[in-house]
Amino acid sequence: MGIRFSAGEVLAVAEQIERNGATFYEAAAEQAVTAEVQKMLRDLSQWESGHQALFASMREQLSDREREAVTYDPDDQLAGYLSAVADTQVFSRARTGADLLGGQQDEAAMIRKAIALEHESIAFYMSMRPLVPPRLGQAHLDTVVLEEYGHVAQLTARLAAVR
């Protein structure tokens, strides 16, 4: 049997990614030149914080079965692995907002980078999807993906407005 993740484990990863995203956008806001760009980046940080809270709420509402670990892990190594994945994928804690933005300070470039990071987030969650069986809450992961699509839609609308 291959490794399977419960909805609870995947939602915990989603929460960490969103926390990292909020930190990224706050750090990027510190690098922004104009007040308008700073506001946009702080708004993005708030979106990420809001989604982290949403995913935490979703995790709290899971059934016992959706929470249960499905892989034998007596040394709790899987939790450490998932934490490392969350901290190194998408909005990496090892890189600051400025690092991820590559020195870009104009609003359109920042939005394009944010869209790319949100797409990375979607790709990550979609890669996790086959690892969460339907009986263990795969539908919750689908909700996470839809939330990320919402981020992309909002960013795309903002990009169109600044062009």
CATH number of the domain within which 26 lies: 1.20.1260.10
Whether 1 is covered by a domain: the verdict is no
Whether 2 is covered by a domain: the verdict is no
**DSSP code at position 63:** -
Spatial distance between the Cα atoms of 20 and 10, rounded to a whole number of angstroms: 15
- Token pair for residue 76? 């709790």
Whether 130 is covered by a domain: the verdict is yes
**Model pTM score:** 0.72
The number of folded domains in the chain is: 1
pLDDT at 160: 92
Spatial distance between the Cα atoms of 24 and 95, rounded to a whole number of angstroms: 8
Other C-beta atoms closer than 10 Å to the C-beta of 11 total 28
- 31, 101 contact by CB (below 8 A): yes
Whether 140 is covered by a domain: the verdict is yes
The answer for residues whose C-beta is within 8 angstroms of residue 96's C-beta and 6 or more apart is 24, 27
pLDDT at 156: 93
Go through the chain and tell me how many residues it has: 163
Whether 103 is covered by a domain: the verdict is yes
Whether 144 is covered by a domain: the verdict is yes
Whether 133 is covered by a domain: the verdict is yes
Write out the chain's pLDDT in tens, 163 residues.
Answer: 455 677 787 788 888 888 888 988 888 888 777 788 788 889 989 988 988 998 888 888 878 776 665 555 556 665 666 666 666 666 665 555 556 566 666 778 888 888 988 898 888 888 877 777 777 677 877 888 898 898 899 889 988 988 7
Domain that holds residue 42: 7-162
